[in-house]
Structure formats: C-alpha cells, structure tokens
C-alpha cells in the first residue's frame, strides 16, 4: 500500500502568559501553536500531517517532508522587504520569519511542493523578493465568522490555481496585509474584484499560495487546493524513492 505523503505544517510561538488559563508559574514557558484546521485539510485530502516546531532545523525538516503548508499568523517584519513598519496590529514574530524563510530556501532547492495560506502567500512573495501593503483595512472582515464567504475571486485560466478551482471561487477574508510588488519568479493567478492579489504561484516550482483561508471554510474537507498539495507531495515522494 502506498504511504500517505508527509506534509509539514508551520505554526507559531507564544509564551504561557499569552494563553488564557495557563498557571502563572508557566507564564514564561514557550508554547507552539498549530491551528488544527490546517492539519484537517491535509488529512482529509489523504496526507499525513506533522507539526514542525520552530526549533527544528529547517533544512532537515524539509528534507524529511513531501510537502509543506505555510499557515496564517502575524505580520512579516517589513525590514525583510526593505520597508519601515507602518502598523503594529499584528506584531512580527522574528523567529518564525527566519524559520519560514529558511523553509522556503530548502523547499525551493529540493523542489518540495508548498501551499501558502494567507500569511503563507505573503511570506512566499517576500521570500521571492516582493513587497507588501502593510494595512488594507477595507479588505479584512474580522466582523463575521471565519467561514463566511465575503467576496468572489477570479482565477486565471490555464494556471495551476485555475486547474484547481476553475474560473472563480467564493472566499472568506481574514487578512489586513496584501501583496504590493510581486516577486519576480511568481505570477498572480487570482484576484478579487478590487484588484487585491488572492493567488500566487511560482513560475517554475510547485509553490502555490492563496490569500484566503480554505481550511476555515465549510468546504475544507473537499477543497481542491489540499488535494493538489497531497497529490503533488505524493508524486514528489515517489520521485525521491525511485
């Protein structure tokens, strides 16, 4: 029987005092956080999900995985794309930024399939040399439930995302930062009607990213972007085992 591909999930780090209900004596202890819906999306698509602690060696972590999910979270330090900070709404997490940059270094070198979600799209763009709009207040919808479909996204025909989603998709919107300058090795393959970049894919590597949160939608169990990742990871694993 063919084994399920191993897909690594990147989370984030908090200290105990930031978690409600933690005893005060544990307030200084680091806690790794992984939203379970990312893993559910991978598992439902047939993959085996594993959380990657930020203390892992990024290159070794990627070498052991058949695919990677870069998840949502805090803002990326604007210094990484040569800008001064304009907002402290979701302060950067330097350890995570460094870890994910190294994860993308290793994945790009090996050809490991990567799915970026929300911050993951932004990280892929920054890693590739692009920049971000630091605050797009009109595009975020934190006033509704996370699975609420708030707008349509038009998808480029002939792209990988086009083969995954077709011409359009109704999506949620839980981000306040957006792509400004697109990284040279990426192309935009999905936009909302106001022009916001909603989908990116690498021109030569199996890296695709979406700005919305498919793992939070009611359609998560059948969302084709997770199926794409698991299929790509399965093929990548087979190529390594050949």
Contact yes or no for 159/166 (Cβ under 8 A): no
**Cα–Cα distance measured from residue 200 to residue 124, given in angstroms and rounded to the nearest whole number:** 9
H/E run at residue 8: strand 6-10
Q: Given the DSSP bridges, would you call strands 168-171 and 114-117 parallel, antiparallel or unpaired?
A: unpaired
DSSP state for residue 2 in the 8-state scheme: P
82 — alpha (psi -120 to 50), left (phi > 0) or beta? left
CB 208 within 8 A of CB 161: yes
- Cα dist from 16 to 27, 33, 51, 52, 91, whole Å: 4, 11, 19, 19, 17
**Residue 98 to residue 113: CA distance in whole angstroms:** 19
Query: Which amino acids are annotated catalytic?
Result: 118, 213, 215
- Report the alpha-carbon distance of residue 91 to residue 60 in Å, rounded: 28
Evaluate the CA torsion angle 189, 210, 102, 137 in order and state its sign: positive
């Amino acid at each position: 029987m063919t084994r399920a591909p191993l897909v690594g999930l990147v989370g984030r780090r908090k200290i105990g005092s930031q978690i409600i209900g933690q005893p005060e004596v544990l307030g200084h202890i680091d806690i790794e956080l992984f939203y379970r819906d990312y893993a559910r999306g991978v598992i439902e698509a047939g993959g085996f999900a594993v959380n990657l602690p930020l203390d892992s060696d990024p290159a070794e972590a990627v070498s052991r995985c058949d695919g990677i999910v870069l998840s949502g979270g805090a803002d990326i330090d604007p210094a990484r794309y040569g800008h001064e900070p304009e907002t402290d709404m979701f302060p950067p997490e330097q350890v995570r930024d460094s870890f994910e940059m190294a994860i993308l270094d290793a994945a790009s070198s090996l050809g490991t399939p990567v799915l970026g979600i929300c911050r993951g799209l932004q990280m892929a763009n920054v890693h590739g040399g692009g920049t971000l709009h630091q605050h797009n207040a009109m595009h975020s919808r934190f006033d509704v439930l996370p699975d609420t479909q708030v707008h349509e996204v038009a998808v480029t025909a002939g792209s990988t995302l086009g083969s995954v989603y077709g011409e359009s998709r109704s999506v949620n919107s839980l981000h306040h930062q957006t792509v400004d300058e697109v990284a040279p090795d990426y192309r935009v393959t999905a936009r909302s009607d106001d022009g916001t970049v909603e989908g990116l894919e690498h021109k030569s590597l199996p890296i695709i990213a979406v700005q919305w949160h498919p793992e939070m939608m009611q359609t998560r169990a059948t969302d084709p972007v997770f199926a794409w990742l698991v299929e790509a990871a399965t093929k990548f694993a087979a190529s390594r085992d050949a």
